[in-house]
Amino acid sequence: MPEGHTVHRMARDHSKYLAQQIVNLSSPQGRFAQEAKRLNGKQLISASAHGKHLFYRWVNPQVVRPREIVMHVHLGLYGKFRIHKNPPPEPRGAVRVRMIGDAHTIDLNGPTRCEIMDSSQLQSLKNRLGVDPLDPQADPQKAYLRLCRSKKPIATALLDQSIIAGIGNIYRAEILHLLDLDPETPSCDLSRPQFDTLWQLTVDLFQIGVKHDRIITVDLNSINKPIRRLNKDERLTIYKKQNCPRCNSTVRKWALGARTMYACPKCQR
């Protein structure tokens, strides 16, 4: 499943390709046919992201003060977008939504959620979601208060989208390793300064992630080749590594919060 930086990057790209345009919308597969009919011919105001969720705001361009219609997408494990230059090829596989703009077409296959939301549904989803490190208005205090109430290990809490939205399995391992934090530390034991450091690191790493369109957690100053040529092993510090790059201990690997965790048993005590 893509982590937050990828979803934000998608929102940015989709805005770039389709925003302010009248979009021809359809559901070649049929499962979104009725909704697509309602959105077809509308103007896309913007695509935006919160954590791993995407929101597309549409209006009827023929109305003076149009009401917005919001399309919500969550890719889940199997969802995938394809971007084509126009004219687009025949739909490939089960295309839930096809959005044809002036010069580009975006196809969406296999999302967990693709739906139209009214304002109360949208509000309730946003209330459930945690703060997003890529949101300039984010209030980290909210995340801290939710963490304080949790006795779950910090590594499990970091995957909880209602605390911090957007962190996935790679970022949680990398963040905890960079902070020398034991993944099993109960969340409620995190001090405020520790949380503040964790939050700022997450913001910084996510911004690097969006900028370069990949997760990079090594020190950018230590890299002596073009960033886009780094392989996964060179971009990360602990995830799927055999040995800790700092002390050379064998990396511990175990299931935590239903996903595989990687940590250094020595540095992260």
Q: Contact between 38 and Zn ion (CB under 5 A)?
A: no
In the complex, what is the shortest distance from the CB of residue 172 to Zn ion, in angstroms, rounded to a whole number?
A: 17
Nearest approach, Cβ of 160 to Zn ion (angstroms)? 26
Distance CA 43, CA 56 (A): 10
Which of 52, 152, 172, 235 is catalytic? The answer is 52
Shorter beta-carbon distance to Zn ion: residue 24 or 249: 249
CA distances for 235 relative to 174, 209, 220, angstroms: 10, 11, 9
Q: Which is nearer to Zn ion, 69 or 256 (CB)?
A: 256
Residue showing the smallest CB distance to Zn ion in the complex: 244
Helical spans, DSSP H, in 1-130: 4-18, 33-39, 119-128
Nearer to Zn ion, 11 or 263 (CB): 263
> Shortest approach of Zn ion to residue 268 CB, angstroms?
7
Q: Is 244 in the site for Zn ion (CB under 5 A)?
A: yes
Using left for φ > 0, alpha for ψ between -120 and 50, and beta otherwise, residue 76 falls in left
Residue 74's H or E segment, with its range, is strand 69-74
Q: How many Cβ atoms sit within 10 Å of the Cβ of residue 26?
A: 18
Is residue 218 within 8 A of residue 235, CB to CB? The reply is yes
Report how far residue 119's alpha carbon sits from residue 162's, in angstroms, rounded to the nearest whole number. Answer: 19
Q: Select the residue interacting with Zn ion from 189, 247, 250, 254 (CB under 5 A).
A: 247
Number of residues that bind Zn ion (CB under 5 A): 7
* Cα 89 to Cα 94: distance, rounded to the nearest angstrom: 14
Options 67-75, 105-113, 134-142, 245-253: segment touching Zn ion (CB under 5 A): 245-253
Tell me, residue by residue from 201 to 240, as one string, x for binding to Zn ion by CB under 5 A and - for no binding: ----------------------------------------
Binding mask 248-267 for Zn ion (x = CB under 5 A): -x--------------x-xx
Contact status: 23 vs Zn ion (CB under 5 A): no
Q: Pick the catalytic residue from 2, 28, 111, 153.
A: 2
Cis geometry, peptide bond prior to residue 89 (ω within 30 degrees of 0): no
Torsion on CA atoms 222, 226, 228, 230, rounded to nearest 10: -50
Catalytic machinery residues: 2-3, 52, 259
Contact residues toward Zn ion (CB under 5 A) are: 244, 246-247, 249, 264, 266-267
